[in-house]
Amino acid sequence: MFMIRLAKMSEVSEIMQVLNLARLYMHQTGNIHQWDNGYPFIDMVEDDIRSGQGYVVIKDKKIIGYFAFILGNDPTYAYIEDGQWLNNESYGTIHRLGSYERGGVFHEVMEYCSKISKNIRADTHADNKIMQHLFLKEGFQHCGIIYLETGSPRVAFQFIKS
């Protein structure tokens, strides 16, 4: 059904189309403040791919999703308020997740990522109720609020595979 693999530089154009559709969907469902001003930017996706951290989700031989899975400490997660992280062990972070397929994509991403790291962190905008629901559905726990480099707050979640 779904396949996940490292993204290729030759796929950047198709990946950006997927992310543009995901941004449009976010805005249509009330999440207008996240992924504004063209984020995620093409240079970020290219950096993800160059560093071996960019992944595509494929269905029926077509790219339907993209995400970055980054192992190691995320500087924006160093400070958390209104809560705390579940542990201080090494973790992977899911960033820039976007898809135009509805149903099952995030579950597949979690299956894939949890084979790489049993400890996963992620964040999303307070307006992104769909992503918050998916985090909780997949076993993430709400941990508090983190702040991006821009100062923008994000709702922080953590998953620990038992």
The reported pLDDT for the residue numbered 134 is 96
The partner residues of 146 in beta bridges, in order of sequence, read: 154
Q: CA quadruple 60, 5, 139, 44: dihedral positive or negative?
A: negative
Structure tokens at 146: 């983190």
Q: Structurally, what CATH architecture does the domain formed by 2-160 represent? A: 3-Layer(aba) Sandwich (3.40)
Question: Quick check: helix, strand or coil at residue 83?
Answer: coil
Question: Quick check: helix, strand or coil at residue 50?
Answer: helix
Number of C-beta neighbours around residue 8 at 10 A: 12
Residue 136 makes CB contacts below 8 A (sequence gap 6+) with: 142, 157
pLDDT of 73 over the 90 cut: yes
More confident residue, 95 or 36: 95
Structure tokens at 132: 């918050």
0.85 exceeded by pTM: yes
Task: Say if residues 45 and 19 touch (Cβ distance below 8 Å).
Answer: yes
pLDDT band for 36, please (50, 70, 90 cuts).
Answer: confident
Angle (deg, nearest 10), helices 42-50 and 12-28: 130
